[in-house]
Chain A
Amino acid sequence: MNIAEFREHLCAIHPELCPLFSVEFGDGVLTIEREGFHQAMSDLKDLGFDRFTMVTAVDRTAGFELVYRVKSRSMSAALFVKCLVEREGPVIASVVDLWPSADWQEREVYDLFGIIFEGHPDLRRILLPTDFEGFPLRKDYVDSTVIRRPDYI
């Protein structure tokens, strides 16, 4: 199913998601507000997106943009889902109840960006030591133990 066909399919079944759909660099992108995020992801799963590929985050300075990638074997389609959360106290609904494979990936995003996934069964650090302070992939992260490369300064 190519992007145009998928768009028609999506608009026929979920007309409320239709205006949120766009195409960026040849990939279908669904930009969702934080309020209806979990319901929209649940709708996408019911639509046939049975495979959760990844979740990551981008520090857009004004806030954090969460980027999800879901795939559908039945439709042979893949979709990016984006959702912007505010910088102070970033919270978003967890999708572990929909796709269990999101478990460790959401923990990684929490570990490096400090985004709280509401409803996650076990939200704690995964890559960094448990006593690590701060979230190192944020643009405003400062760490006195980091040695700057001399030719960068």
Chain B
Amino acid sequence: MALIDRLGEALDGGQGGGIILSTLDSLVDWARGKSLWAMPMGTACCAMELIAASFNKFDFDRHGTFPRPDPRHTDVMVVAGTITKKMAPAVKRLHEQMADPKWVIAMGNCAVSGGIFYYDTYSVVRGIDEFLPVDVYIGGCPPRPESLQDAVLRLRERIATESIAPDRKREVALLLPESSGISFGARLGTPSSADVTDSEGDER
């Protein structure tokens, strides 16, 4: 991520120390990415993993992500569960009530594509991207809490490419570990298929 994530090291390495020059973009992106309050849109069994992610064993709060019950307090909507055609207008309305900037995580197969309800159903929306702009998809039925945390970290990488100027994208060299196997080009700018995380290699 940005240099600002490693302020301590940067201060240590600098001559004299104490002063850091940065761009406003990186400061804003850092602040946004480190306090992504979540709107828990849990409608089915994925919500259990979403709840577990917040509690002491997984402790989502250490990433700055904290569930809030009011869309007006939140930055990222985590849609965890099957969205029926009856529920879809309510989800859309809650998303509209969130203040900009806002992001959406589709958690679990149902939110990604309809999951096991893709075939032979008259009542389920086949993926929330039919009516919401999704930033990160998490596969799994349901995904583990670690997958959700990984999604937040990926979302933070995506936020690092955004600028406060609406039409500008930042070119950020993401500090990825060599072992991730993902080339820098794939992680720069707009997200590609590399943003789809797969927790357990499920068939869909």
Residues of A at the B interface (CB closer than 8 Å) are: 127-129, 132, 136, 141, 143, 145-149, 152
B85 to chain A: closest residue by CB: A129
| Contacting pair B123 A128 (CB below 8 A) | yes
Q: Answer yes or no: B184 CB below 8 A from chain A CBs.
A: no
Instruction: Chain A residues near B86: list those with CB within 8 A.
Output: 127-129
B120 to chain A: closest residue by CB: A149
A145 to B130, CA, bound (A): 14
Q: Which 3 A-B residue pairs are closest in the complex by CB-CB distance?
A: A149-B119, A136-B122, A129-B86
Instruction: Chain A residues near B131: list those with CB within 8 A.
Output: none
Instruction: Chain B residues near A127: list those with CB within 8 A.
Output: 86, 123
Taking A128-B123, A136-B123 as contacts, is the C-beta distance between A147 and B118 under 8 angstroms? yes
A149 to B126, CA, bound (A): 14
| Contacting pair B85 A147 (CB below 8 A) | no
Instruction: Chain A residues near B85: list those with CB within 8 A.
Output: 128-129, 132
A147 to B118, CA, bound (A): 7
> Min CB distance, A36 to chain B, in Å?
35
Q: Answer yes or no: B15 CB below 8 A from chain A CBs.
A: no
In the complex, how many residues of chain B place their beta carbon closer than 8 angstroms to a beta carbon of chain A? 9
Residues of B at the A interface (CB closer than 8 Å) are: 85-86, 118-123, 126
A128 to B125, CA, bound (A): 12
Chosen A-B contacts, 16 in total, with CB atoms closer than 8 Å, are A127-B86, A128-B85, A128-B123, A129-B86, A136-B122, A141-B122, A145-B122, A146-B120, A146-B122, A147-B118, A147-B119, A147-B120, A148-B119, A149-B119, A149-B120, A152-B120
> Min CB distance, B158 to chain A, in Å?
31
Instruction: Chain A residues near B121: list those with CB within 8 A.
Output: 146
| Contacting pair B122 A148 (CB below 8 A) | no
A147 to B86, CA, bound (A): 19
- Beyond A128-B123, A129-B86, list 20 extra A-B contacts (CB 8 Å): A127-B86, A127-B123, A128-B85, A128-B86, A129-B85, A136-B122, A136-B123, A141-B122, A143-B122, A145-B122, A146-B121, A146-B122, A147-B118, A147-B119, A147-B120, A147-B126, A148-B119, A148-B120, A149-B119, A152-B120
A152 to B86, CA, bound (A): 27
Instruction: Chain A residues near B126: list those with CB within 8 A.
Output: 147
A62 to B118, CA, bound (A): 31
A132 to B122, CA, bound (A): 10
